[in-house]
Structure 1
Amino acid sequence: MDGNDYSVFSILPPYNNLVAQLIQKDYDPKHVTQGVTITYEALPSLDGKLNTTSVTKTNFWDYVLKLFGVSLEPDQGLANSYVQSTTPQPLHYDAQHHWWTAEGIPVSPRNDDGSYNMYPMVKVVAKDSNGNVLAETTTVLPVSDEMDCKKCHSSTSGYTAARPLSGWVDMNDSEKDYKFNILRLHDQKHPTAVLEHNASLSAKGWNYNPDGLEATAQAGTPVLCASCHKSNALPGTGVDNIKPLTAAIHGKHAGVIDPVTNMTLNNSTNRNACYTCHPGATTQCLRGAMGKAKNADGTNKMQCQSCHGVMSAVGSSTREGWLDEPNCQSCHQNGQRYTEAVTSMSLGTLREALDTRFATKPDTPMAGKSLYRYSTGHGELQCSACHGSTHAIYPSAKPEDNIQSIQAQGHAGTIGECTACHTTVPMTTSGGPHGMHTVGQAWVSAHGGVVEHGGSSSCTACHGSDYRGAPLSETMTARTFNTEWGTKTFPAGHKVSCYDCHNGPNID
């Protein structure tokens, strides 16, 4: 969400999606799609504080009719889901995507006592028709209002490059001040924008003042940026022949000089350039395994640009916002783990995949696109069910994110323990996730025969071409095995190698 004030303009409404899949645990697990109810409800965060309402924390509901043309009940979202509370709210089954979902939960980043919490927690509960609890889990609804533009557009920012020619608006209300400055600057650069497109806007229900956007907001009608600038996050928005929102904003700001670094945002190659607007310096949205990876000197190994390219690439006219995104196979391929998905930062060109072992699903959710957040893998589970959400890949730097994986398998990290879904561990050489073999003591006892009859070449994808271990063979938790050579104990993070027990892959 873009701030707490919606009386001037809105880029994005409060809108958070919760997705779940229910699995009947068995030797051969099954998806449960009917005969149950699944609900979500507020849980105290790790500091014990609750977030159970949003209507008292933002004026969104005062202006939702003028912005989006709908009337909503307090705490009701645009897709009819309600804010998490102490009253369980339903998820609904979506047969197209084979998941249960509550779409557009209008969550706020403030606890009920007014303190900030960008990671409010919810409990998701599945019950049978008699009300018996079948399963439950804990997850977060990440949210931030740090996208506020004040750094440059506030009347007190001192950033003269963003100052309208007619001067700052100098409002006492800081939440309105920077927004009116932006509208004034937009009118200065595009003085006839509303007049030229008023017919198209009116046809879609937006009635703006022909004198401009500032005049529109001053008269009490807030402006929805996507009414003119198409956003795939808000289907049906936009006017033909006007730049999409992502192209307009990223393209325009690529050449802006950051007053802190004195560099253009496009020339910056670290996440601070993105955190100026996106959540954010406090929220630390990029918090998963990739975001928290460090170089030997303690600096971040991966940046936003490592996957997305620089700002001008994100704002390219050929890119579809929210749909043209990085994919897993650009980094995870051919037994390698690259730290940059793009081969050209300036163009945002993704690395070609040499294999599809870790690939997102093609033509998902539509032809020509391949998005992680819609892709499925082993057992038709969503990729995020085992790996976590896009910017919070397990294990996350935020302990709240890790609770679900700990509940499922006893430790934080990718859900890779077979017993998370299987009552009895199945024996397989390559039938596990991403072509994996069975994990645990059963595999230790059986793998010798597999190698003897099938060779060891397939082992290199995870254990390295020299069989001495690689990132994909790391143990996710401490493990102890019984072997012909006695008990072997490996700490979490150990790269399992043929040389741990043998003198190489072909020698006892």
Structure 2
Amino acid sequence: MIRRLRTLAPCLGLIGLLLAGAPATGAPYKVLGWNDLGMHCMDSDYSVFSILPPFNNLHAQVVDAGRNKLVTSGVTVTFEATPDLNGSLNTHSSDKTNFWKYALPLYGADLPADMGLGGWRTASLTPQTMGYQSTSSMFEAVGIPITPWDDQKKKNSYPMVKVVARDASGQSLAEGHVVLPVSDEMTCIACHASGSQEAARPPVHGWVNDARGPEMDYRRNILALHDDQHLSASKYKKALKTAGYDKAGLLATADGGHPILCAACHSSNALPGTGQTGITPLTTAEHTLHAKVINPNTGLPLDSEKDRGACYMCHPGSETKCLRGVMGNATLPDGTAAIQCQSCHSTMSKVGSAKRTGWLQQPTCQACHHDGLRDLTAVNKKGQVKQPADTRFATNPNVPSAGFNLYRFSKGHGGLQCEACHGATHAEYTSSHDADNVQSIETQGHVGTIAECTSCHTNLATTATGGPHGLHTIGQAWVNKHGDYAEKNRQACAYCHGADFRGSPLAVTRAARDIRAEDKQVHYQVAQEVTCYDCHNGPGGELKRRTALR
């Protein structure tokens, strides 16, 4: 598989634009593309109610490796559908979902086929030019209405697009291959299908037993149950009127041909501008209510569950496997997952807390990555996100807005977005899904966090602290010059190389490499921890006489 991935190497073109901030003559380029969430969700049916539309986001940055800077002008960046590693191709969406039939009553938009709510068409064989966002120095296409079904009507939650950077004459400078993950696996069928389980709560008038199939059935059961619980309240009647729904209730509205948008009453930051004053936000209502629900698979309340199975009852996971990044795939010595959804987000009741702002109040990188450590939980015993003083691996404060700081909006080294090098949320390099890793292999020649200096720098200066997160230059040049710095700054070295200088997970090699220390040679395997004892008899010790093992 790795051999197949390597065949997708990016094109490095030569151009001659002499504009300020534009590509320089003779310089190689890299285009780094990513999806922002790691998994975008959409409804599998829109005729009864909707939580989320098909709405995927694509971001990209272009690096001029010759001038060691981001390209901010003089280029256009486009995206288009392309086959994935298995040949699956997704070039249209409108015949794979009934979203376009109900987009007007649900979202107030009478959309042409394959056009999304953000003004972008779904990825096709015709390139679409991405917009440029100056505040983040990135190109973006927000709201691509791609679906998890390819052109052969086969399920594929990881369709791939090709992102191409071109100069003013249309000459290709660089390209990358990016997954636009999308899932319609959101489901409430385990508890709301007619006759689903003894502990489930049927509507007052009984299960609807919709003969049209399970999708219509559980969705109508939910609306009936919602009406049972609230229809007698004046607040509910007012909300129905404000939303333009039938005064007889949500089920009557949907059965009359007008599907329900959940966010029409319950606000969601995933759909800005939605909701009604005085009505609980959607994430609060859903997580608080369902925290008490008994998981039919375990017999425990969902709030008591400590693994991702509880979240996968509703969120995409059991089939889609959306939690697939390096953290989600980490295991303990007994083979069980080291990090669960709850490790970062806490329990369901905490996620649903009225004090929490959905979609914006999320765990941060520094909650686990601090003081040279890698914690396995981002929250304390109270379920609150930890706030260490160490900001070396921290998200940017006050992004996207005051009081909030999110990984997917943060940037670092040279203005690169964090996700450009580390991968999308929930799909951080290295992902268990091969297509996610294509971008990193194209960029640096091997899988993993993009950490090879020469990937984006052809004129590489040796620096002790100028790299990402204050990292020194990686490679032979640093080895040749690190002695004086290491002698004077041992504690700085200890942050990554360990308090005893015998290595730590922060000092692993991302690829096999050979290093020479004067006339001695040391061979490192992939993921081997680099220590002071590899070449020396400890920090400040004499060089060892050691040769590579082949």
| Worse-matched range after superposition: 85-94 or 428-437 | 85-94
Tell me which residue corresponds to 2:334: 297
Tell me which residue corresponds to 1:174: 214
Matches within 5 A, 1:124-135: 124-135=163-174
Q: Greater relative contact order: 1 or 2 (C-alpha under 8 angstroms, separation 6 or more)?
A: 2
Of residues 387, 408, 420, the one that matches 2:455 is 420
Shift of 1:153: 0.9
Secondary structure, aligned partner of 1:272? coil
Shift of 1:199: 5.7
Please, what TM-score do these two structures have when normalized by structure 2?
0.89
Shift of 1:34: 2.5
> Residues 15 and 103 of structure 1 are in contact (CA less than 8 Å); yes or no, is this contact kept in structure 2?
yes
Shift of 1:2: 4.1
Unpaired runs of at least 5, structure 2: 1-40, 543-550
Is 1:307 aligned to residue 344 of structure 2?
Answer: yes
Shift of 1:354: 2.7
In structure 2, how many angstroms separate the alpha carbons of the residues matched to 1:97 and 1:504? 43
In structure 2, how many angstroms separate the alpha carbons of the residues matched to 1:192 and 1:126? 58
Tell me which residue corresponds to 1:93: 132
Is 1:113 aligned to residue 142 of structure 2?
Answer: no
Shift of 1:31: 2.0
Shift of 1:506: 1.8
Is 1:408 aligned to residue 443 of structure 2?
Answer: yes
| Counterpart amino acid of residue 324 in structure 2 | R
Tell me which residue corresponds to 1:57: 96
Per-residue Cα deviation, 1:412-440 (whole angstroms, up to 9, x for no partner): 11101111111122210001000000000
Secondary structure, aligned partner of 1:390? coil
Change (3 A) 1:74 1:318: same
Q: How many residues align?
A: 501
Change (3 A) 1:296 1:52: same
Shift of 1:37: 1.5
In structure 2, how many angstroms separate the alpha carbons of the residues matched to 1:317 and 1:168? 31
> Residues 428 and 438 of structure 1 are in contact (CA less than 8 Å); yes or no, is this contact kept in structure 2?
yes
Per-residue Cα deviation, 1:442-478 (whole angstroms, up to 9, x for no partner): 11111112223x2312101100111000000011111
Secondary structure, aligned partner of 2:479? helix
Shift of 1:202: 5.7
Change (3 A) 1:146 1:37: same
Q: Using the aligned pairs only, state the percent identity.
A: 52
Tell me which residue corresponds to 2:32: none
Per-residue Cα deviation, 1:277-325 (whole angstroms, up to 9, x for no partner): 1111011111001000011111101000000000001000011110000
Tell me which residue corresponds to 1:326: 363
Tell me which residue corresponds to 1:482: 516
> Residues 148 and 159 of structure 2 are in contact (CA less than 8 Å); yes or no, is this contact kept in structure 1?
yes
Tell me which residue corresponds to 1:23: 63
Shift of 1:160: 4.3
> Residues 374 and 382 of structure 1 are in contact (CA less than 8 Å); yes or no, is this contact kept in structure 2?
yes
Is 1:433 aligned to residue 468 of structure 2?
Answer: yes
Tell me which residue corresponds to 1:238: 275
Tell me which residue corresponds to 1:461: 495
Per-residue Cα deviation, 1:383-426 (whole angstroms, up to 9, x for no partner): 00000011011111111111000000000111011111111222
Shift of 1:488: 0.6
In structure 2, how many angstroms separate the alpha carbons of the residues matched to 1:339 and 1:196? 43
In structure 2, how many angstroms separate the alpha carbons of the residues matched to 1:423 and 1:192? 69
In structure 1, how many angstroms separate the alpha carbons of the residues matched to 2:367 and 2:235? 43
Per-residue Cα deviation, 1:181-217 (whole angstroms, up to 9, x for no partner): 0000100111146x635666666xx310011000000
Shift of 1:350: 1.4
In structure 1, how many angstroms separate the alpha carbons of the residues matched to 2:237 and 2:102? 20
Of residues 299, 310, 315, the one that matches 1:262 is 299
Per-residue Cα deviation, 1:115-167 (whole angstroms, up to 9, x for no partner): 11111111000111111001110110011111021111111423442311211
> Residues 153 and 159 of structure 1 are in contact (CA less than 8 Å); yes or no, is this contact kept in structure 2?
no
Tell me which residue corresponds to 1:4: 44
In structure 1, how many angstroms separate the alpha carbons of the residues matched to 2:156 and 2:361? 30
In structure 1, how many angstroms separate the alpha carbons of the residues matched to 2:447 and 2:301? 39
Per-residue Cα deviation, 1:23-66 (whole angstroms, up to 9, x for no partner): 2122x422222222211111112211211111111100000000
In structure 1, how many angstroms separate the alpha carbons of the residues matched to 2:509 and 2:456? 19
Is 1:102 aligned to residue 137 of structure 2?
Answer: no
Of residues 349, 356, 371, the one that matches 2:406 is 371
Of residues 407, 421, 424, the one that matches 1:389 is 424
Shift of 1:107: 1.0
In structure 2, how many angstroms separate the alpha carbons of the residues matched to 1:104 and 1:450? 48
Is 1:211 aligned to residue 232 of structure 2?
Answer: no
> Residues 159 and 259 of structure 1 are in contact (CA less than 8 Å); yes or no, is this contact kept in structure 2?
no
In structure 1, how many angstroms separate the alpha carbons of the residues matched to 2:95 and 2:198? 33
Secondary structure, aligned partner of 1:489? strand
In structure 2, how many angstroms separate the alpha carbons of the residues matched to 1:130 and 1:16? 29
> Residues 46 and 400 of structure 1 are in contact (CA less than 8 Å); yes or no, is this contact kept in structure 2?
yes
Of residues 344, 359, 377, the one that matches 1:340 is 377
| Counterpart amino acid of residue 521 in structure 2 | T
Tell me which residue corresponds to 1:142: 181
In structure 1, how many angstroms separate the alpha carbons of the residues matched to 2:438 and 2:466? 27
In structure 1, how many angstroms separate the alpha carbons of the residues matched to 2:251 and 2:490? 69
Of residues 479, 483, 494, the one that matches 2:528 is 494
In structure 2, how many angstroms separate the alpha carbons of the residues matched to 1:348 and 1:278? 20
